[in-house]
Amino acid sequence: MIALRYPLLLLLTVPLVVWAWRVIYRWGIPSSRPSSALARLSSHWIPVLLALALGFAAAGPEWRRPLRGTAPVVDFAVVLDGSSSMRILDRPDEDRWHAARRTLAQFVLRRPDDRFALILFSAHPVTLSPLTADHTRLLRMLARLDIDSRDDGTAIGSALMTAVRRLEDSPARSRVILLITDGVQNRGRVTPMEAAEEAHQNGIRIHAVAIGTNGESLVPLEGGGFAKLRVEVDHATLQQVAHLTGGESFSAEDPAGLERSLSSVDQLEKTLLPVDPPSEGRPLARWFLLAAALLALPLAVDLAFKRGKARPAWLAAS
């Protein structure tokens, strides 16, 4: 099915088509009036078709096709903590950062009919991906992600507010923010509760997963060796945020606990909803522009032959 991203722009085609139909232009040799049916049809219809092709290209045509599945069960905004404390080792062979990315990838694979947005935050939130059903691209992005400690901190409230903005215009009946963090808010102007209130007003649930425990933990150093880092997890605030929006809060002390938490979220969000099936669009504008170029080519060649020649009497009288 063909759909238009900017259908109002198609209105601009109307005066362009009228002008193309009424313009004084005739196809053929300037010294004689075109007599063949092909020449007469070409003189009127090629400029009109050229105007239509340009108008449809401007309107952003797309070929929309349904995605696999029957309905977008949930639109998720994943909010992932990227602060330096995520380098902490909760078990000898895997830190929190790698465990979070690995379990998130498994979570995405278990939900092939949902859409996901990805927000990474430390001192400031960054939207790495808007809502998308392209899980392959999302998984590649997760695999390449790394922590940048130059702008360290934990701005939970700002990250949640960014996630709300990503979901507030979503047409899905069920919209969920999945927050994964291991710290306490220490950056940002928006508090977690303010963001939770905004989510509640927009009908968005927040599931919060707290990684790790309070106290000192080992974090690897870039030059080798380990250092002790004291981290506090704000379980109370995360519980309040989740409960205010109708979500759940989870505590994951190690990677296995994180896997159990995301499995619980997966089970909580299994409700099938009577919504329109999802679809994605393939842009068609380049084909309309190609058609316009092909239509413009004979006009350009014909006008090049006529350039510098006197206008024939029959054309001046018409």
150 exposure class (CB count in 10 Å sphere: 0-12, 13-18, 19+): exposed
* Stretch 197-216: mean pLDDT: 89
Using the predicted structure, report yes or no on whether residue 206 has a pLDDT greater than 90: yes
The residue whose two tokens read 């994951």 is: 252
CA distance 57 to 39: 27
CA distance 83 to 146: 10
Which of 166-180, 257-271, 272-286 shows the highest mean pLDDT?
A: 166-180
The residue whose two tokens read 């400029």 is: 47
Who wins on pLDDT, 314 or 64? 64
* 84-138 tens-digit pLDDT: 888 888 777 788 899 899 999 999 998 888 899 999 999 999 999 999 989 999 9
**What's the mean pLDDT when you consider all of the chain?**
81
CA distance 245 to 76: 14
> For 280, phi and psi rounded to 5 degrees?
-130, 150
What confidence score (pLDDT) does residue 315 get?
Answer: 53
CB 252 within 8 A of CB 261: yes
- Strand locations in the chain, DSSP E? 2-4, 61-66, 75-81, 89-91, 94-95, 115-121, 125-132, 175-181, 205-211, 215-220, 226-231, 249-252, 279-283
What confidence score (pLDDT) does residue 27 get?
Answer: 46
Q: Which token pair is 158?
A: 């700002």
Q: Which DSSP letter does residue 170 get?
A: -
CATH superfamily, with its number, for domain 75-268 = von Willebrand factor, type A domain (3.40.50.410)
Determine which of 219-228, 271-280, 281-290, 292-301 has the lowest per-residue pLDDT on average.
Answer: 271-280
Does the pTM surpass 0.75? The reply is no
pLDDT interval class at 18 (50, 70, 90): confident
* Stretch 160-186: mean pLDDT: 91
Using the predicted structure, report yes or no on whether residue 179 has a pLDDT greater than 90: yes
Domain coordinates in residue numbering, the chain: 2-65+279-317, 75-268
Q: Which residues contact 179 (CB under 8 A, 6 or more apart)?
A: 79, 156, 159, 160, 163, 206, 207, 208, 209, 238, 241
DSSP string across 109-132: HT-TT-EEEEEEESSSEEEEEEEE
